[in-house]
Amino acid sequence: MFQLYNVYMQPTWFVMGLITVGLWEMVWKGIALWYAGNNKQKGWFIALLVVNSLGLLPMMYLLWFKPKEKRETKLISTRTKKKK
């Protein structure tokens, strides 16, 4: 049975778990905030900044609500210099 006394006496697993969850949240939130900021989506940026959801809200944004990236095509000149 889980007892808080064990967590108090041996907090290493608890601390490691908190660090892991914190890093997980920070990575997903950072990526989602980056895309929301670059796409000028103020509503999503504020929601992602304020709500702590263990990475669920940032993952939902990145998977379903992030605008599709526009691929830039570079035109390659087909002109070639003719050698004499």
Q: Is residue 77 part of a domain?
A: no
Sequential pLDDT tens for the chain (84 residues): 677 777 778 788 888 988 999 999 999 999 999 999 999 999 989 998 888 887 888 888 888 888 777 656 555 555 555 565
DSSP label of 9: H
CA distance 58 to 49: 10
39 lies in which domain range? 25-66
Q: Is residue 2 part of a domain?
A: no
What DSSP line would sit under 13-75, residue for residue?
Answer: HHHHHHHHHHHHHHHHHHHHHHHHHHTT-HHHHHHHHH---TTHHHHHIIIIISPPPPPP-PP
C-beta of residue 58 within 8 angstroms of C-beta of residue 28: yes
Q: Is residue 81 part of a domain?
A: no
